[in-house]
Chains A and B, each alone.
Chain A
Amino acid sequence: MPPARTMASRPAAWPHRAPFTAPLRTIWPLAGILGLCACALIPQAEQGDAPDISGQDVRLTILHTSDLHSRLLPYAFDPSFTDNALGLSDGTGPYGGMARIGYILKRERARSGRVLHLDSGDCFQGAIIFNEFLGEAELRLQSAVGLDAAVIGNHEFDAGATNLAEQYGAWGTFDLLAANYDFRDSDLPWANLLEDEVKPSVLYDLDGLKVGVIGLANLSSLNSIYDESNSLGVKVIEAFEVIPDEAAKLRSQGADIVIAVSHMGLDDDQDHARTLPDVDLYIGGHHHVAINPPPIVVNEETGQRIPVVHSGAFAKFVGRMDLVVRDGEVLTIDYQLFPIDSNVPEDPEIVDILEEYSEAISTNYNTAQVIGYAESQLTRYGSTGGDSMLGNLTAESMRFYPGVETEIALTNTLGIRADLPVGDITIDNLFNTMPFDNTITTMFLSGREVQELLDYVSWRSTERGCQSQAQVAGITFDMVCNPEDPHAANIVINGIPLDLDGTYELATNDYIAHGGSGFEVLERNTTQVDTGISIRDVVKSAIIQYHTLPQVEAGICVEDGRINPVY
């Protein structure tokens, strides 16, 4: 891990961080016994000035961002049909960017009375700025736009837990939340830092309306944390325990409504809304979906209708949820999504901060350098759910790279994070598509292990709409997406049917080689060799070599049906 570069001196004092940062969980049991409040820094006149809201309608506005994934600078991409439907039009790029988000947030704050800006995590990882500054820019800019609270996303650990603790300690002026991570039992040095910095929940007083916010960090992708499978040693607390406890605590402190800001994913958010009482609104992320209108889930116990808000990823949208509350009951809601494109002005204060970073990465990485040309959009997903253009390019590049040269290659589809849009392929585009600093790992697998590997791919893909979760080279197979019996069939290795008793050398990425995304068959392999060769560099070399893609006649960067979904 390279040392983090920094663009600015760290602030001498944190603008509005609470000096007392011991998580409430630590001493919550004492509260009921001692029960003495001493919020010394809340001006008494201000507290006393709050209106009595009992019996009255009060409007609360939640501004929502999620999964920014380091897209602090505008970037090129081809909006999907769904993006179009949500208001992100073709031809209005480049898209995203924190200065535009800052403008929207400032504008919407000015159009609101009681307002909170909540972020659902994963602001780290996804563009060069993270690779260079390891999260400094993300946290500094989240603070600069006035973020009130964020939940920790799984990618916040991508440069290590110590990095997160140090970067947040230096730059974070918002509340960092995670009720379901318990750092107390760890002896690791960073654990003490995070224990001090991370709160399970926070209670805001918005002119008499008390809003409790619980942080629900990710559990399903803990094994994607940078080092290895849950090497953090975080003790996780199940949601069905932590949500009722935290909600009850906040209610006992006077919360009129309780909001869960979550990075658990849409399915979990909906399950929790359905089964666990006492949370009025879920503000979620992790699945990178923008949903308008937001799903309404009916709680099985109370019958309460609970909105589950997901506002998308990659700085493409800002969400705004308005709720009207009376005596602790959410009476009605309204939701809007604001697309972030070139029609949105930039906040000059944010532009100034960004310039420091953009100039540095432009110089260091030569981000505008053109390395190839895309004649059509180069997609990371296959049109049939099987192999894809970028998947095939990546896997073939890994397999044939000098010094690797294996019989087969397999990489996870989600390691490719974005399509490459039509036009020049630049270094900047390449980093947006392949932001992870993964390297090629080689290993020997038996034929049976190859079968097991592809069975696992088929199982995982079946769960995700029969969209292949891996991309391959040297392999063709039928991916049978029968939910009762997902499996791989008709496996052929370089033109020869798979020999279950044979041995095959595989090139893969170090992330799944370590068991990431559930690839246990790779994790347990004892023949692994980490080549140290960057997959992004390998793909970059291939793009430079071929220059214009796809090359249909040569079969380069084209879908060729090597993964055949069978339903």
Chain B
Amino acid sequence: MATPCKPLLPVLFVFACSESKVGPRIEPTFIEVTLDGETGSAEAPLAFSGEPATWTLTAQALDKNREPYALTGDLTAHVRPGRLVGDPKIAIENGQWTGTLTIEAAFGPTRLWLADEGDKDVDTARAPSFATGVSEAIFYALPTIGEAQRFEDPESNQIDGEWGDFRIADRRVVITEVGTDGFWATDLDDGPAGHGSLFVYTFGKPQGIVAGSQLASLSGGVQEYLATTQLSFPTYTAVPDVTLPIPEAAPLDPAALCSDGEVDSTLAEAYESSRVVLSTVTIPESMAEGGDDYADYVEFGQWPVTASNGCTFYVDITGANLDYTPPDHIGETLPQVSGVLVQVWNKWIIQVRDSADLVTASGAARSSSGASALRGRLPPRHRPTPR
């Protein structure tokens, strides 16, 4: 209900004049939540973990006068941030509940919610009050880039969908490449083959950093863009006047990474967004016009290369401005292909940076006009469009 605010005498104006919007009261009005156990602190947080952790809590329902309210029904549990394991509905009787909740992948100050959002059994459901109580903060450490990305599903990560704050300040995180719409960073303490690399999407060319800059902080929306982990709408800072060595490209070993001619994504995931190098590969017949890979090449620019064991990776040179047309080189062997490794659904693609990254039988590929830039023809991301 909206109630207008009307001063009796305009000149004697209003100190606490507000529009009241109140619906019918449903009890309980409050839920008090207490938490047992060592919760850590901002200075000494609990370790980040993808493994489940169980917490014991007590809930007490209260009415508007803060007297115990004999609520019998279901409360709904939430955790922010992190994932709740198991059924979010818990049964409360006579206004009290004590029990455990299990969470995983929580990071930073984390709170468990218990809310009166309605009963599980809709047939006997009462009108919920939406009273909500939260626990005191449990302080978990922020995840490193590697910790966030080590996950059973190579097309996801531990904190997918969260606003991710990363543990950066006490790590050596270096920017390895700067592109036209973002940058790649590698945590040297995880290494390029240790899930420690990430793409940070900045929409335009990122400012204030160069390849070699050391990051001081990093946060952003964690998502899987075409199965490659990226941060969107990020905030980041670099350590002033400090550069770190950019790691050498990590060699990809098709014998170790592939089975039955296909890249094992659970293994390749460790290299995602890192600089990699692949040696002695051949452009297969499938790149001939009308072949299986030709249409994708025309539409998206990616083209296959096959190792001696039949394992196929893909190469994308569209951002490198190279004078090189793969269909003209079917059957030829490329001694070396370097670039950033990204996953696009079930394909692993090496995004080539410049002519030095693509070594042909006759040497490095030639550049065409224009400066080099890492920018593939992937579907567009978010694009702010004011007018």
Contacts A113-B131, A295-B163, A334-B78 given; indicate if A39 touches B17 (C-beta within 8 A).
Answer: yes
Taking a contact as CB atoms under 8 Å apart, the answer to whether B180 and A19 are in contact is no
Taking a contact as CB atoms under 8 Å apart, the answer to whether B31 and A288 are in contact is no
Interface size band for A? 35 or more
Nearest CB in chain B to that of A333: its residue? B80
| Contact residues of A between 96 and 125, Cβ < 8 Å to B | 111-114, 116
Nearest CB in chain A to that of B203: its residue? A465
Q: Does A297 contact B (CB under 8 A)?
A: yes
A80 to B12 alpha-carbon distance, docked (Å): 55
A204 to B20 alpha-carbon distance, docked (Å): 6
| Contact residues of A between 514 and 567, Cβ < 8 Å to B | 517, 564, 566-567
Q: Which residues of B contact A415 (CB under 8 A)?
A: 387
Nearest CB in chain A to that of B381: its residue? A82
Q: Which residues of A contact B137 (CB under 8 A)?
A: 331
Taking a contact as CB atoms under 8 Å apart, the answer to whether B180 and A466 are in contact is yes
| Contact residues of B between 275 and 331, Cβ < 8 Å to A | none
Nearest CB in chain B to that of A298: its residue? B235
Q: Which residues of B contact A361 (CB under 8 A)?
A: none
Among the 9-residue stretches A27-35, A187-195, A362-370, the one with 4 or more Cβ atoms under 8 Å from chain B is A27-35
A334 to B33 alpha-carbon distance, docked (Å): 18
Taking a contact as CB atoms under 8 Å apart, the answer to whether A50 and B22 are in contact is yes
Contacts A57-B30, A204-B19 given; indicate if A40 touches B377 (C-beta within 8 A).
Answer: no
Among the 9-residue stretches A205-213, A398-406, A443-451, the one with 4 or more Cβ atoms under 8 Å from chain B is A205-213
A52 to B30 alpha-carbon distance, docked (Å): 10
A478 to B321 alpha-carbon distance, docked (Å): 14
Taking a contact as CB atoms under 8 Å apart, the answer to whether A42 and B20 are in contact is yes
Q: Does A224 contact B (CB under 8 A)?
A: yes
Q: Which residues of B contact A210 (CB under 8 A)?
A: 18
Interface size band for B? 35 or more
Taking a contact as CB atoms under 8 Å apart, the answer to whether B163 and A381 are in contact is no
Q: Which residues of A contact B78 (CB under 8 A)?
A: 334
A18 to B31 alpha-carbon distance, docked (Å): 34
| Contact residues of A between 265 and 319, Cβ < 8 Å to B | 265-266, 270, 286-297
Q: Does B37 contact A (CB under 8 A)?
A: no
Shortest C-beta distance, A393 to chain B (Å), equals: 19
Taking a contact as CB atoms under 8 Å apart, the answer to whether B14 and A31 are in contact is yes
Taking a contact as CB atoms under 8 Å apart, the answer to whether A291 and B232 are in contact is yes
Partner of A465, one of B9, B20, B180: B180
Partner of B130, one of A59, A80, A296, A332: A59
Taking a contact as CB atoms under 8 Å apart, the answer to whether B19 and A116 are in contact is no
Q: Does A49 contact B (CB under 8 A)?
A: yes
Q: Which residues of B contact A204 (CB under 8 A)?
A: 18-21
Contacts A42-B3, A59-B132, A111-B130 given; indicate if A34 touches B11 (C-beta within 8 A).
Answer: yes
Taking a contact as CB atoms under 8 Å apart, the answer to whether B221 and A292 are in contact is yes
Nearest CB in chain B to that of A220: its residue? B386
Q: Which residues of B contact A58 (CB under 8 A)?
A: 30, 132
Q: Which residues of B contact A464 (CB under 8 A)?
A: 203-204, 384
Taking a contact as CB atoms under 8 Å apart, the answer to whether A466 and B205 are in contact is yes
Among the 9-residue stretches B87-95, B147-155, B367-375, the one with 4 or more Cβ atoms under 8 Å from chain A is B367-375
Q: What 0/1 pattern do residues 356 to 387 of B give for CB contact below 8 A with A?
A: 00000000000000111101010111111111
Shortest C-beta distance, B297 to chain A (Å), equals: 15
A293 to B117 alpha-carbon distance, docked (Å): 22
Taking a contact as CB atoms under 8 Å apart, the answer to whether A35 and B15 are in contact is yes
Q: Does B2 contact A (CB under 8 A)?
A: yes
Partner of A332, one of B134, B161, B162, B372: B134
Nearest CB in chain B to that of A115: its residue? B21
Taking a contact as CB atoms under 8 Å apart, the answer to whether A22 and B10 are in contact is yes
Q: Does B129 contact A (CB under 8 A)?
A: yes
Taking a contact as CB atoms under 8 Å apart, the answer to whether A148 and B21 are in contact is yes
Q: Does B242 contact A (CB under 8 A)?
A: no
Q: Does B195 contact A (CB under 8 A)?
A: no
Taking a contact as CB atoms under 8 Å apart, the answer to whether B180 and A18 are in contact is no
Shortest C-beta distance, A27 to chain B (Å), equals: 5
Q: Does A353 contact B (CB under 8 A)?
A: no
Taking a contact as CB atoms under 8 Å apart, the answer to whether A116 and B380 are in contact is no
| Contact residues of B between 127 and 160, Cβ < 8 Å to A | 129-134, 137
Taking a contact as CB atoms under 8 Å apart, the answer to whether B132 and A38 are in contact is no
Taking a contact as CB atoms under 8 Å apart, the answer to whether A57 and B181 are in contact is no
Q: Does B207 contact A (CB under 8 A)?
A: yes
Max chain B Cβ within 10 angstroms of own Cβ: one of A207, A332, A383: A332
Nearest CB in chain B to that of A287: its residue? B384
Nearest CB in chain B to that of A297: its residue? B235
Q: Does A17 contact B (CB under 8 A)?
A: yes
Q: Which residues of B contact A287 (CB under 8 A)?
A: 384-386
Q: Which residues of B contact A414 (CB under 8 A)?
A: 385-387
Shortest C-beta distance, B179 to chain A (Å), equals: 9
| Contact residues of B between 6 and 43, Cβ < 8 Å to A | 6-23, 25, 29-33
A324 to B78 alpha-carbon distance, docked (Å): 12
Q: Does A81 contact B (CB under 8 A)?
A: yes
Q: Does A94 contact B (CB under 8 A)?
A: no
A224 to B387 alpha-carbon distance, docked (Å): 7
Contacts A288-B385, A481-B180 given; indicate if A16 touches B3 (C-beta within 8 A).
Answer: yes
Nearest CB in chain B to that of A56: its residue? B30
Partner of B18, one of A61, A203, A266, A566: A203
Q: What 0/1 pattern do residues 448 to 467 of A give for CB contact below 8 A with B?
A: 00000000000000111111
Q: Which residues of B contact A82 (CB under 8 A)?
A: 380-382
Q: Does B341 contact A (CB under 8 A)?
A: no
Contacts A57-B132, A224-B387 given; indicate if A18 touches B4 (C-beta within 8 A).
Answer: yes
Q: Does A46 contact B (CB under 8 A)?
A: yes
A202 to B3 alpha-carbon distance, docked (Å): 13
Q: Does B126 contact A (CB under 8 A)?
A: no
Q: Which residues of A contact B80 (CB under 8 A)?
A: 332-334
A52 to B387 alpha-carbon distance, docked (Å): 46
Q: Which residues of B contact A43 (CB under 8 A)?
A: 3, 20
Q: Does B336 contact A (CB under 8 A)?
A: no
Partner of A41, one of B6, B115, B385: B6
Partner of B20, one of A38, A47, A266, A334: A47
Q: What 0/1 pattern do residues 79 to 111 of B give for CB contact below 8 A with A?
A: 010000000000000000000000000000001
Partner of A253, one of B18, B20, B29, B377: B18
Taking a contact as CB atoms under 8 Å apart, the answer to whether A331 and B16 are in contact is no
A205 to B242 alpha-carbon distance, docked (Å): 51
A567 to B204 alpha-carbon distance, docked (Å): 11
A356 to B257 alpha-carbon distance, docked (Å): 63
Q: Which residues of B contact A253 (CB under 8 A)?
A: 15-18
Nearest CB in chain A to that of B111: its residue? A332
Partner of A81, one of B5, B32, B207, B380: B380
Max chain A Cβ within 10 angstroms of own Cβ: one of B30, B62, B387: B387
Taking a contact as CB atoms under 8 Å apart, the answer to whether B382 and A203 are in contact is no
Question: What would 4 more interface pairs be, CB under 8 Å, given A207-B23, A221-B386, A464-B203?
Answer: A17-B4, A112-B130, A205-B21, A291-B233
20 A-B pairs with CB atoms under 8 Å apart are A31-B13, A38-B17, A40-B7, A40-B8, A51-B65, A59-B131, A81-B226, A82-B381, A82-B382, A111-B130, A113-B130, A204-B20, A289-B382, A296-B165, A296-B219, A331-B111, A332-B113, A464-B384, A465-B204, A466-B204
Interface residues of B (CB under 8 A from A): 2-23, 25, 29-33, 62, 64-66, 78, 80, 111, 113, 115, 117, 129-134, 137, 161-163, 165, 180-181, 203-205, 207, 219-223, 225-226, 232-233, 235, 370-373, 375, 377, 379-387
- Which 10 A-B pairs have CB atoms at the shortest separation, nearest pair first? A113-B130, A16-B2, A567-B373, A287-B384, A59-B132, A18-B4, A51-B64, A38-B8, A203-B18, A465-B204
